[in-house]
Amino acid sequence: MNTLDFSILAQSWPYLWSGLLFSLSLTAAAFVIGMVLGTGLALVQHFEIPVVAQIVRGYVAVIRSIPLILVLFWFFFLVPIVLGHLSGNGRPIPIGATWTAFITFGLFEAAYYSEIIRVGLRAVNKGQFEACQALALSTYDTYRHIVLPQVLRVASPIILSQTIILFQDTSLVYVLSLTDLLGAASKLAQLNGRLVEMYLVVAVTYLAISSAASQCVAALRKRYAVATSR
């Protein structure tokens, strides 16, 4: 341990910071895409829309059954070929590593968020729907103003837990040669030879952010547990 030299971090931190910002940006974008699309997928299943509901269930089942890294490879290598054939020229249309990461993470997380929302919808008391019908609220107003806010509030601890996993999974973009936090540390370690220091800093950074978010999850669970017991 006496050979460790963390003085190199003063010079390396700007590059590590840019990598961390990319990881956080990817997390935020995937969260927004995943929540919006996932809520839509959950509602399709909730309303049992013919044919479409079966397609959505198949999509969710497939996505949740395969590793994210495999989906990244599929999207990066196969989608350009498919787009090339659809365009008629037969030549692959490159999407780019950054677009691949943001789109793939969003679509992947949508499957997980949709299951969280779907379970939350099933947990809503039927009396809520009956009360909305008695007030002559439309289906749109019922779900927008009454049902979904309750689902999101109660499911927020699970949603945040999934988002923590999402943040940790952003390190997988190294397979696309993107410079996230781990990718930045890896490139710096190859240049200055301080592998232990670089990877230790990355581990501490992930630990600090994930631990802080986990404390928020615990606080939310405690808050809604108390509210439910009243």
Is the pLDDT reported for residue 39 higher than 70?
A: yes
Whether residue 5 lies inside any domain: the answer is no
Question: Which domain does 163 fall in, by range?
Answer: 11-229
| Cβ burial, residue 78 (10 Å; 0-12/13-18/19+) | exposed
Whether residue 111 lies inside any domain: the answer is yes
**209 to 195, 201, 203, 220: CA distances (angstroms):** 21, 12, 10, 17
- Domain count for the chain, please give it: 1
Whether residue 4 lies inside any domain: the answer is no
Whether residue 87 lies inside any domain: the answer is yes
Whether residue 95 lies inside any domain: the answer is yes
Helix (H, G, I), strand (E, B) or coil at 144: helix
- With residue 99 as reference, give the H or E element that holds it: helix 97-123
What is the rounded CA–CA span in Å between residue 174 and residue 13? 19
pLDDT over 70, % of the chain: 95
- The string of pLDDT tens digits covering residues 112-171 is 999 999 998 988 888 877 888 888 888 888 888 888 888 988 888 899 999 999 999 999
In the prediction, which pLDDT does 90 show? 76
Question: pLDDT-derived band of residue 224, with 50, 70 and 90 as boundaries?
Answer: low
55: nearest Cα among 40, 66, 41: 41
Whether residue 139 lies inside any domain: the answer is yes
CATH value at residue 190: 1.10.3720.10
Whether residue 1 lies inside any domain: the answer is no
Is the pLDDT reported for residue 179 higher than 80?
A: yes
Question: pLDDT-derived band of residue 97, with 50, 70 and 90 as boundaries?
Answer: very high
Whether residue 50 lies inside any domain: the answer is yes
Is the pLDDT reported for residue 35 higher than 90?
A: yes
What is the rounded CA–CA span in Å between residue 110 and residue 7? 41
In the prediction, which pLDDT does 53 show? 94
Whether the full predicted model's pTM is greater than 0.85, yes or no, is yes
- The string of pLDDT tens digits covering residues 18-31 is 999 999 999 999 99
